[in-house]
Amino acid sequence: GGKELTGHSIPEVYGAYEPTAVFVPLAEMMKEENFAKCTKELFGPFQVVTEYKEGEIDTVLEALERMEHHLTAAVVSNDIQFVNHVLGNSVNGTTYAGIRARTTGAPQNHWFGPGGDPRGAGIGSPEAIKLVWSCHREVIRDVGPIPQGWTTPKAT
């Protein structure tokens, strides 16, 4: 990935690139000189992927705590105690949790923005931060069981 797309009508100011994924080991991501680069929010087809091993969940939770905006998150697991541990030790806006937790930054029919009013989101401003933390945290749980033969619904 990372190559500029050709043959499209997207205005140049927005940029148009092939989807790109970069793997960064967790220990490298956590280094002061790498963390901001690895966790910068980009509006494009780009993702930083890492992995963690048994006993490293506290490092993952530290990474979540160090991130700047705490917008949307997901915990995908069928281990309820693990899900509860992560939810109880992290702060985010809308959080999807369970075995089919959707990981979208644009929730459908769910609270988004302070007090349920998306016009007040203003993410990053001091006023928005005060308003966001004055309201509830939306946690959408999906703990199953998954019916036999279930498949992800077609996008609409």
The helix/strand/coil state of 22 is strand
Q: Determine the Cα–Cα distance for residues 122 and 81; give it in Å rounded to an integer.
A: 34
Place of tokens 């985010």: 92
Listed in sequence order, the residues at least 6 apart from 38 whose beta carbon sits closer than 8 Å to its beta carbon are: 24, 29, 48, 50
pLDDT tens-digit series, residues 78-110? 888 899 999 989 887 777 887 766 655 444 444
pLDDT tens-digit series, residues 66-78? 988 777 788 888 8
Report the alpha-carbon angle 5-8-13, nearest 5: 75
Phi, psi of 103 (to 5 degrees): -120, 65
pLDDT tens-digit series, residues 13-29? 888 888 899 999 999 99
Report the alpha-carbon angle 63-66-43, nearest 5: 85
Band of the pLDDT at 46, cuts 50, 70, 90?
Answer: confident
Residue 120 pLDDT > 50, yes or no? no
Residue type, 6: T
Average pLDDT, integer, range 104-121: 49
pLDDT at residue 35 in the model: 97
| Mean pLDDT over each residue of the chain, to the nearest integer | 79
Q: What percent of the chain lies above the pLDDT cut of 70? A: 74
